[in-house]
A and B are shown apart, each in its own frame.
Chain A
């Protein structure tokens, strides 16, 4: 399994991937940042961001993807995302409540509105994106003893 991934896929897949991977990544960011004004949000956006890296890994092999986002980096990003989310929740105590939406909520349907919701979305996207990619890496790169013997 790992043998195939080392080489990557054919030239057609690689070329298409080069065009699409950035777009997928950008689309994920769009979903995250517009999560409070349209359907979407941190989880969906995070999944799409993780999928762009998964896509890269499938086409180019594990080295190319892990060079962009190493295992250690995913782990740190995941914890940072969770900490950020918790921090936002705890900052609500400044207004008296856990998870209080303490920033000015602004007008609906504007990009800068809804108080802490976009910030929460970003934190969730970090957590979910890094977490999902970490799960994928952990499952794909699992070194099976039986395969080593072959």
Chain B
């Protein structure tokens, strides 16, 4: 049970990083941490006690596997995360080009 809570703690650490840090790159790192925490949590929902990797092989019967569905879903979530991260990094580089800084306290031309 404690491991699920540790996942949520990791998620909260990422969230703290996003909210508290001033450097754009650190914010992106925070998002990645949160993302991995969410993915880890999803993977953990698949766990069965004593289960083995859900790989279908010749001559091995298919009982006692962990749930393969979350693995497939998390793979998709990781791909989405890759796309988001790439976009964020690209925007961050462009911001550096325009503003000459990564500090969000100096990038405040808009205030919503």
Partner of B97, one of A108, A135, A142: A142
Q: Is B79 an interface residue (CB 8 A)?
A: yes
Residues of B57-103 whose CB lies within 8 A of A:
58, 75, 79, 86, 89-90, 93-94, 96-97, 100
**A-B contact count, CB below 8 Å?**
24
User: Which residues of B are found within 8 Å of A4, using beta-carbon distances?
Assistant: none
Q: Is A97 an interface residue (CB 8 A)?
A: no
Given A109-B58, A138-B90, answer yes or no on A146-B100 (Cβ-Cβ < 8 Å): yes
Given A43-B75, A43-B79, A109-B58, answer yes or no on A139-B100 (Cβ-Cβ < 8 Å): no
Partner of A139, one of B58, B79, B93, B97: B93
For the complex, what is the distance from the CA of A109 to the CA of B75, rounded to whole Å? 23
B89 CB to nearest chain A CB (Å): 6
Beta-carbon contact of B90 and A139 below 8 Å:
yes
For the complex, what is the distance from the CA of A39 to the CA of B54, rounded to whole Å? 10
For the complex, what is the distance from the CA of A145 to the CA of B55, rounded to whole Å? 50
Interface size on B, residues (CB 8 A): 13
For the complex, what is the distance from the CA of A144 to the CA of B95, rounded to whole Å? 10
A139 CB to nearest chain B CB (Å): 6
B63 CB to nearest chain A CB (Å): 17
Q: Closest residue of chain A to B78, judged by CB?
A: A43
User: Which residues of B are found within 8 Å of A145, using beta-carbon distances?
Assistant: 97
Residues of A with Cβ closer than 8 Å to B?
38-39, 43, 108-109, 135, 138-139, 142, 144-146
Residues of B with Cβ closer than 8 Å to A?
55-56, 58, 75, 79, 86, 89-90, 93-94, 96-97, 100
Additional 10 contacts, C-beta under 8 A, given A109-B58, A139-B93 = A38-B55, A39-B55, A135-B86, A138-B90, A142-B90, A142-B97, A144-B96, A145-B97, A146-B97, A146-B100
